[in-house]
Structure 1
Amino acid sequence: MYKHFLFLTLFLTIPLFGVVQIAPNEVGLRPGIAGQFSASNNTQRGNTDKDEFDLSASVSYDNNRSYVTWLDLSYAYGQVAGTKNENKAYAHYRFLHTLRRPEWNWEVFAQNEGDDFRSIQRRLLGGGGLRWRFYEAGTFGRIYIGLGAYYEHLSYTTQSDPVERNTRVNSYLSYTKKFGTDARLSLGIYYQPKTDDWNDYYFNQAASLSVSVYRELFVKIELTHAHDSRPGIGVNKTDFQQITSIGWKFGAKPDR
């Protein structure tokens, strides 16, 4: 049990790092210690002077009986002709524990992120909720529904935006399907309104396809669409991103 406290300590001492793990985790899926590292890079010289890179890592511990805990990390940076156009980081820690039946789980989580180009200096949150795996079939995959709440502290890089302290509903629907032994498709939809003002909400959609290419080496394609109904002053409400990365896995392989 001490291992999930170790992951929480790492989260608190490494600010502004992380990645969203789109594929839902589950107790018994990858017993023991497991994880992955991935990176993408785009460098252009000549008529275009451009540098972009994304780094991500994930590590988990599954006791194969009652709980699984994990930490996701990532960092993205970009510049064009020496001018920075991307600088963001994200960290997410989660602890998932079974209830009386294996398809029901309770979960707690904490998150820390920053994004210069969304004027977010720091966004800290913590919360919890319930998750239900309401459908599973070998030919179709698994579907999950989650419902809970979290407290959010949001500070901006600009003086014109006030510090926000919000309580939000956390609701999501996720799907994952393994194709043979080499590929996995995962989808997720998140809706997170403020409890006292449902016109202020986050709505995020994400999809990923991971394909093994040689032993533990894999290629992943990720698509994300994020909408903030009330962002900081001068910030666009909607962001879209596509990342193709190469990575390496370690630990037990998921069997479904």
Structure 2
Amino acid sequence: MMKNLLRAIQVAMILLLSSQATHAQVNTEKMRSSKLDEGWSGFAKFGFGYREGNSNLFKLNANLRVDYSVNRLHSFLVGNLERTEESDRESAAYKGFLHFRNMYAIIKKLDAEVFLQKEFNDFIRLENRDLIGAGLRFNFQLEDQKLSYHIGLGLMWEHENYDSSDEDDANISRSTNYLSLNWHPSEHLAVICIEYLQVDVENSSDFRFLSDMVVGYNLTKKLIFETNFKYRFDNEPVSGIKKYDLDIKNGIRFNF
């Protein structure tokens, strides 16, 4: 319990610092800003969930992000912390991450990307994951500007260790690839769908797939209500962990 508490405090401090200034790689594509106006921008998002019946569950989560754009360069720092209490667990479970990404527009439809990330997740017994990667992002947009899509191709190196005597520390190189669809059917409604596929370059059976959909409705100019559907599949999880997770969350997002 003390270890979880110290870990939560550590990540909370990291999130606080980031607000002043995104399994494998956490899905940060859905956290990208649709507008790349020059200067500083960001958002804070808070959500909760509750379930009662065969098991009682209460969940709290927070996201913070800061962007900076100038000329062809766009950088962002994003963090997440989630706390879950369950009736059949003696202590709360936590997961969190901190992600930094730098993007440079080579030409209008092509960006170069580099990124760093740190993550932990009690739900899959992940004590720590560090990764670094780089890639290319291809950008496409329809003439009416209501629909855009992006294709990302890249490589990353990850180091991870689990709370399990059956698992050794791992150092793995993976391909990291994604398809992102951004649809804005009206001024108040936005739908973002992202599919990630990451494969061990030396073992094709070791792959992870992440599917994420966010539906956002503008309550005001700066306040947005969001529903998030997330599916995660790991073909070679650690011992005792299921291959998939399905998560549905609601939250309020404040842009600044």
TM over 0.5: yes
Q: Distance in 1 between matches of 2:57 and 2:203?
A: 41
Identity %: 21
Among 208, 211, 215, the alignment partner of 1:202 is 208
Q: TM-score, normalised by structure 2?
A: 0.84
Answer yes or no: is the 8 Å Cα contact 2:231–2:244 preserved in 1.
yes
Query: Cα distance, 1:248 vs. partner?
Result: 0.7
Q: Residue 98 of structure 1 aligns with which residue?
A: 105
Q: Distance in 1 between matches of 2:83 and 2:31?
A: 26
Q: Which amino acid in the other structure matches residue 94 of structure 1? A: R
Query: Cα distance, 1:247 vs. partner?
Result: 1.8
Q: Distance in 2 between matches of 1:240 and 1:47?
A: 18
Q: Which amino acid in the other structure matches residue 218 of structure 1? A: I
Structure 2 residue ranges without an equivalent (≥5): 1-10
Q: Residue 38 of structure 2 aligns with which residue?
A: 31
Which stretch shows the higher mean deviation, 146-155 or 82-91?
A: 82-91
Query: Cα distance, 1:145 vs. partner?
Result: 0.7
Matched, 1:130 2:132: no
Q: Which amino acid in the other structure matches residue 223 of structure 1? A: F
Answer yes or no: is the 8 Å Cα contact 2:49–2:250 preserved in 1.
no
Question: For the aligned residues, what is the CA RMSD?
Answer: 2.6
Answer yes or no: is the 8 Å Cα contact 2:27–2:210 preserved in 1.
no
Per-residue deviation, residues 193-214 of structure 1 (Å, max 9, x unmatched): 0111111011111110111102
Matched, 1:188 2:194: yes
Q: TM-score, normalised by structure 1?
A: 0.84
Per-residue deviation, residues 5-39 of structure 1 (Å, max 9, x unmatched): xxxxxx9x939x95743437479623211111111
Q: Residue 49 of structure 2 aligns with which residue?
A: 42
Secondary structure of 2:28's aligned partner: coil
Query: Cα distance, 1:86 vs. partner?
Result: 3.5
Structure 1 residue ranges without an equivalent (≥5): 1-10, 251-256
Q: Residue 6 of structure 1 aligns with which residue?
A: none
Q: Which amino acid in the other structure matches residue 189 of structure 1? A: E
Q: Distance in 2 between matches of 1:139 and 1:103?
A: 14
Query: Cα distance, 1:89 vs. partner?
Result: 0.6
Q: Quick one: higher RCO (CA 8 Å, sep 6+), 1 or 2?
A: 1
**Shift in CA distance, 132/24, structure 1 to aligned 2, threshold 3 Å:** farther
**Shift in CA distance, 153/111, structure 1 to aligned 2, threshold 3 Å:** same
Matched, 1:246 2:252: yes
Query: Cα distance, 1:190 vs. partner?
Result: 0.8
Q: Distance in 1 between matches of 2:166 and 2:54?
A: 38
Q: Distance in 1 between matches of 2:57 and 2:33?
A: 40
**Shift in CA distance, 161/213, structure 1 to aligned 2, threshold 3 Å:** same
Answer yes or no: is the 8 Å Cα contact 1:20–1:72 preserved in 2.
no
Q: Distance in 2 between matches of 1:125 and 1:153?
A: 6
Among 155, 159, 164, the alignment partner of 2:170 is 164
Per-residue deviation, residues 37-77 of structure 1 (Å, max 9, x unmatched): 111123579997542111111110111x2011011111111
Matched, 1:116 2:122: yes
Matched, 1:147 2:153: yes
Which stretch shows the higher mean deviation, 40-49 or 219-228?
A: 40-49
Q: Distance in 1 between matches of 2:54 and 2:126?
A: 32
Secondary structure of 2:123's aligned partner: helix
Answer yes or no: is the 8 Å Cα contact 1:24–1:176 preserved in 2.
no
Answer yes or no: is the 8 Å Cα contact 2:231–2:246 preserved in 1.
yes
Answer yes or no: is the 8 Å Cα contact 2:45–2:62 preserved in 1.
yes
Q: Residue 14 of structure 2 aligns with which residue?
A: 14
Q: Distance in 1 between matches of 2:43 and 2:34?
A: 18
Q: Distance in 2 between matches of 1:88 and 1:34?
A: 25
